[in-house]
């Protein structure tokens, strides 16, 4: 049994467990046991991966396993991980684990909620472990559709509109992906759908590459909140229930960046070089526009959603710089953004659950009433604006240093423009922190509110621990990432 | 004449025998148990027919008039399975007082249309093909009219029979052109003499449009919505999957076998018809609020996707078409089973609004309906996504710019189709309703039909052996 397949197998077993669970406690039990297993497994995988690398195993993918699936069509179930996917798996496990606790009190239809939630995580895990184009795509779509019901049924606000918009836009993206995947498969003349083998063949004509690169990059870019295809993100995040926002901003949006790097740029390297300027402009707009939009929002979730647009834009921006430092920074940013956005959304969910409003004009003085949540919020905010010691600083620093390594005017101009987002981020974070935490208590009813319960504290502490941990000791993570990035970049920069 | 040739036609022969048995049983059986005995008998006969189809080996008889290949045998098995599900799910409708006395007729008509489709698929000659086609469509009109006390049903049948005969006429005209140019009607001979003269192309167009009526491709789809809405739900289900599947398979087989030398011409036809079918049907489906009518437009657009496989025109494309039909059969039958049971319990109502809040009262039914709709929309891990992807793969194999363009349109349309399938999901799960359908327990036939369909939806995709088996037969 391949260790990676367990990442799909465990959620499937969890689905069955949820199916037969009879009451709330059994549902919670299945979720806690399953997500703990997944967390333990991904920690074990990380350790095993680092050991294998230290023992001098330099092959691009480790723990590979392949078995034909649809043999006549050359489709195989093939798995394998490199440094990038290992940290992504770790991230997903952390978010699923904490997400379970963040939705501990969720009602109604708890069982169905967790059923779709687990199906979504199955897709996420499957996408990160697979190395076969078709299988990756299949898992990618598995991760998208549960969002519709999760937002539509358990969401708040304009949930029906947001759910439909999100689903349709993301599905539109995956429609583009199908064309791209078929184009890559047929024009490479490959008799396999394995991405490492197709990349090694490296024989798609440049003209053809230029046709299909935009399809795949935009297809994944929709999920990575690439301007102007990001519009699903604010509505979707604002309407989604807490754990779903966490999982969606924390992990699902990373699928976009990961796909752009792993499929679009890795398999179509010449086109990536020739067309990168278009997408660099778009991502620079994403970064700045997202940050500026966040400044004028009044809904806590909208602020965070736009901040996600800005930060995820930074991921794509760094990937397109195509230097080793920038790409390592991009992956670090995925990790860091995943963790701190999850933290943010968890806290916002908890505050909303108590005050029943997310409008910052109606909030104030929360520090006195719920100190634990407020301190958590401050920490999340500081991490978000890139304070040294937290993960955000490490990631953004690496990205901007790496981007500046490109010594032409265009790339440097883009970098400088994107850098301004750091300042803007500080503006919108500090504005919110000052307004909702430290001003006078806006509503006397708030005095009666309670601070976090044990399950909420647990989930928040886990995330803060990870955010700070990544900020204090980034070196081992960036070492793990580095290996993966350089093997992909060696193909991109041939 | 060598009468032993009839042994090559075992599936047809056994189905004929089954027809006679059901007919006699309908005459002989009397009393209270007639209903259950007759339905059980039909079910058993269809199951054994399924076994016969599986066991049949490729054969040729009557100097090429009748040709059965591994692919046609699989197709026969799929259609028989589909008919079996129709028979099972129709039970709750057949128990209704005004149809109960026509139960035997329903089975007989169903089996005879199936026989016609068998003939049509394994024909090696245009006239044989035409015979099969007619045999499949005339009894179908009677089935549509089975609810004759309802005005809609009679109207639907009238519409169906008029378009069916009209399209047959058009098709015969086309066949006569082909005969005039090639001097033969045997598929194996026609392919040797056919060339791209204007007259042959006219023949091709007429022939194509004749079959286009049966598959209800745009612009030959005008009968579909009314007929589907008026016909009894079980019959609508049967028409939308079994009859459509048979016609699509035959069209592709004939295009590949007979018209291969003028492939560049029929490809244009296919492109136009596919783009129109998918787009127009999707646009119409968006605005429907009557579920059977909605499913009619959905099935038109699905037909477009089915024909997308024909763009590939090789063994792999044929296998993806068969696979698509197989998956489509189970997914669509699941939807129609739910529609049928809701219609029976909900006072004959098939409006979409009666599904509002359906999840609150009948969670299991609405969950299964959701799975089926997801499969139709092409959402993994359900089989629909696999079949759609394989069809796209078959079309992309063509490699031309136009093929990719058609693919692009088709893919954009999958998003539109997702929207309208999600509307039903939304009605069931999200919309609140003060007065939703009351909770009810489904009878065991409905459960059986839904169980079979759901097993298919889940298993046919993930278990690659199903596709491998079809692909092995199509090479």
What are the tens digits of pLDDT across the range A427-468? 888 888 888 888 777 777 777 777 777 888 888 888 888 888
Residue B336 to chain A, least CA–CA distance (Å): 23
Q: Are strands A75-81 and A62-70 parallel, antiparallel or unpaired?
A: antiparallel
Closest CB to B381: pick one of A71, A142, A148: A142
Let me know how long chain A is: 494
Q: Does A201 touch chain B (CB under 8 A)?
A: no
In 3D space, the residue among A335, A288, A254 whose CA is nearest the CA of residue A87 turns out to be: A335
Number of domains in chain A: 1
**Cα separation values, A403 from A263, A279, A317, A320, A408, Å:** 21, 15, 9, 9, 11
- Using an 8 Å CB-CB cutoff, list chain A residues near B374: 145
pLDDT at B132: 92
CA-to-CA distance for A115 and A15, rounded, in angstroms? 6
Low-confidence ranges of chain A (pLDDT < 50): none
* Percentage of chain B exceeding pLDDT 90: 38
How many degrees, rounded to 5, is the angle at CA B116 between CA B113 and CA B117?
Answer: 90
Q: How many CA atoms lie within 13 A of A65 on its CB side?
A: 11
Q: With an 8 Å Cβ cutoff, are B429 and A179 in contact?
A: no
pLDDT tens digit sequence for B319-336: 999 999 999 999 999 999
- Using an 8 Å CB-CB cutoff, list chain A residues near B398: none
pLDDT tens digit sequence for B142-197: 999 888 778 888 888 999 999 999 999 999 999 999 999 898 889 888 888 888 88
**Cα separation values, B40 from B18, B25, B37, B101, Å:** 13, 11, 5, 16
- In B122-196, alpha helices (H): 126-144, 151-182, 187-193
Q: With an 8 Å Cβ cutoff, are B422 and A164 in contact?
A: yes
pLDDT at B31: 78
Asked if residue B30 has pLDDT above 90, the reply is no
pLDDT at B333: 92
Number of domains in chain B: 1
Token pair 């806590």: residue? A300
Name every residue whose Cβ is closer than 8 Å to that of residue A104 and which is 6 or more positions away in sequence.
Answer: A28, A455, A456
Cβ(A263)–Cβ(A216) under 8 Å?
yes
Name every residue whose Cβ is closer than 8 Å to that of residue B152 and which is 6 or more positions away in sequence.
Answer: B229, B230
Cβ(A359)–Cβ(A299) under 8 Å?
yes
Q: Which structural domain, as residue segments, surrounds residue A164?
A: 5-492
For B464, the closest chain A residue by CA position comes to A70
Q: What is this model's ipTM? A: 0.91
pLDDT at A198: 87
pLDDT at B348: 65
Cβ(B407)–Cβ(A179) under 8 Å?
yes
Q: Which two tokens stand for residue A256?
A: 């976009």
Q: Which two tokens stand for residue A354?
A: 């108590």
Q: Which structural domain, as residue segments, surrounds residue B241?
A: 3-474
> Which residue out of B357, B403, B464, B474 would a mutagenesis test of the A interface target, given it has the greatest number of A Cβ atoms within 10 Å?
B464
Closest CB to A72: pick one of B379, B407, B471: B471
For A146, the closest chain B residue by CA position comes to B379
pLDDT tens digit sequence for B327-373: 999 999 999 998 888 888 776 677 888 888 888 888 888 889 999 99
- Using an 8 Å CB-CB cutoff, list chain B residues near A155: none
Which of the given ranges, A45-54, A427-436, B76-85, B261-270, has the highest pLDDT on average?
B76-85
């Amino acid at each position: 049994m391949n260790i990676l397949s367990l990442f799909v197998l465990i959620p499937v077993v969890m689905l069955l467990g949820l199916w037969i669970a009879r009451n709330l406690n059994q549902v919670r039990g299945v979720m806690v046991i399953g997500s703990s297993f997944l967390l333990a497994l991904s920690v074990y995988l990380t350790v095993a991966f680092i050991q294998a690398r230290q023992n001098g195993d330099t092959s691009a993918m480790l723990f590979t396993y392949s078995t034909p699936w649809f043999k006549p069509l050359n489709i195989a179930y093939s798995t394998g991980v490199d440094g990038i996917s290992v940290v992504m798996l770790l991230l997903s496990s952390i978010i699923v684990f904490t997400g379970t606790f963040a939705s501990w009190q969720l009602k109604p239809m708890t069982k169905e909620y967790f059923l779709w939630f687990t199906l979504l995580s199955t897709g996420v895990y499957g996408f990160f472990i697979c190395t076969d184009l078709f299988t990756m795509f299949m898992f990618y779509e598995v991760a998208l559709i549960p969002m519709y019901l999760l937002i539509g049924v358990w969401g708040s606000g304009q949930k029906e509109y947001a759910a439909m918009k999100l689903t349709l836009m993301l599905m539109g993206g995956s429609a583009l992906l199908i064309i791209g995947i078929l184009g890559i498969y047929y024009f490479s003349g490959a008799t396999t759908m394995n991405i490492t083998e197709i990349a090694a063949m490296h024989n798609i004509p440049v003209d053809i590459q230029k046709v299909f690169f935009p399809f795949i990059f935009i297809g994944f870019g929709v999920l990575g909140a690439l301007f102007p295809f990001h519009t699903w993100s604010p509505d979707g995040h604002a309407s989604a229930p807490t754990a779903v926002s966490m999982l969606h901003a924390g992990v699902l949006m990373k699928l976009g960046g990961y796909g752009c790097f792993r499929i679009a740029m890795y398999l179509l390297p010449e086109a990536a070089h020739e067309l990168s300027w278009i997408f660099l402009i778009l991502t620079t707009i994403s970064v700045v526009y997202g940050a500026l939009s966040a400044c004028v929002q009044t809904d806590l979730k909208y602020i965070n959603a736009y901040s996600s647009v800005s930060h995820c834009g930074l991921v794509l921006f760094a990937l397109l710089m195509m230097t080793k430092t920038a790409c390592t920074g991009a992956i670090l940013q995925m990790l860091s953004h995943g963790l701190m956005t999850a933290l943010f959304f968890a806290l916002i969910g908890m505050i909303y659950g108590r005050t029943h409003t997310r409008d910052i004009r109606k909030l104030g003085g929360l520090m006195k009433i719920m100190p634990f949540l407020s301190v958590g919020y401050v920490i999340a905010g500081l991490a978000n604006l890139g304070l040294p010691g937290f993960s955000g600083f490490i990631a953004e620093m690496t990205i901007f240093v790496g981007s500046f390594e490109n010594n032409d005017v265009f790339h440097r101009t883009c970098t400088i423009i994107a850098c301004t987002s750091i300042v803007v981020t500080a503006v919108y974070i500090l504005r919110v922190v000052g307004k909702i935490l430290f001003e006078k208590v806006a509503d006397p009813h708030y005095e009666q509110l309670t601070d976090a319960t044990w399950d909420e504290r647990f989930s928040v502490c886990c995330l803060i621990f990870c955010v700070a941990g990544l900020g204090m000791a980034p070196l081992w993570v960036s070492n793990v990432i580095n290996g993966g990035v350089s093997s992909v970049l060696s193909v991109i920069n041939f | 004449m060598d009468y032993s040739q009839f042994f090559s036609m075992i599936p047809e022969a056994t189905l004929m025998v089954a027809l006679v048995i059901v007919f006699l049983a309908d005459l002989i059986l009397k009393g209270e148990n007639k209903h259950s005995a007759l339905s059980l008998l039909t079910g058993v006969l269809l199951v054994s027919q399924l076994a016969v189809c599986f066991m049949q080996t490729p054969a040729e008889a009557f100097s090429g008039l009748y040709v059965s290949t591994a692919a046609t045998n699989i197709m026969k098995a799929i259609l028989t399975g589909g008919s079996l599900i129709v028979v099972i799910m129709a039970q709750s409708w057949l128990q209704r007082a005004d149809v109960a006395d026509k139960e035997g007729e329903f089975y007989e008509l169903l089996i005879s249309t199936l026989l016609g489709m068998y003939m049509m698929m394994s024909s090696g000659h245009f006239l044989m093909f035409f015979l099969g086609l007619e045999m499949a469509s005339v009894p179908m009109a009677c089935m549509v009219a089975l609810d004759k006390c309802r005005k809609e049903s009679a109207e639907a049948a009238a519409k169906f029979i008029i378009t069916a005969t009209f399209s047959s006429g058009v098709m015969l005209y086309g066949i006569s052109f082909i005969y005039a140019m090639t001097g033969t009607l045997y598929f194996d001979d026609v392919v040797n003499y056919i060339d791209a003269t204007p007259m042959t192309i006219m023949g091709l167009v007429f022939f194509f449009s004749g079959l286009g009526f049966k598959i209800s491709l745009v612009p030959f789809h005008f009968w579909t919505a009314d007929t589907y809405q008026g016909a009894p739900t079980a019959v609508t289900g049967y028409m939308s999957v079994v009859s459509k599947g048979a016609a699509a398979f035959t069209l592709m087989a004939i295009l590949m076998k007979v018209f291969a030398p003028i492939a560049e011409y029929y490809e244009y036809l296919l492109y136009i018809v596919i783009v129109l079918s998918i787009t127009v049907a999707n646009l119409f489906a968006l605005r429907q609020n009557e579920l059977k009518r909605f499913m009619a437009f959905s099935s038109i657009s699905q037909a477009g996707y089915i024909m997308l496989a024909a763009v590939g025109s090789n063994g792999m494309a044929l296998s993806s078409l068969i696979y698509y039909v197989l998956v489509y059969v189970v997914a669509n039958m699941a939807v129609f089973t739910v529609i049928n049971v809701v219609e029976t319990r909900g006072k004959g109502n098939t409006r979409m609004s009666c599904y509002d809040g359906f999840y609150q009262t009948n969670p299991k039914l609405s969950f299964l309906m959701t799975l089926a709709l997801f499969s139709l929309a092409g959402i993994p891990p359900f089989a629909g996504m696999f079949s759609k992807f394989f069809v796209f793969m078959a079309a992309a194999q063509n490699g031309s710019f136009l093929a990719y363009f058609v693919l692009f349109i088709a893919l954009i349309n999958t998003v539109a189709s997702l929207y309208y399938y999600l509307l039903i999901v939304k009605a069931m799960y999200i919309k609140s309703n003060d007065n939703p359908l009351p909770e009810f327990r489904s009878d065991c036939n409905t459960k059986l039909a839904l169980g079979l369909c759901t097993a298919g939806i889940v298993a046919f995709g993930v278990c690659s052996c199903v596709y491998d088996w079809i692909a092995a037969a199509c090479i």
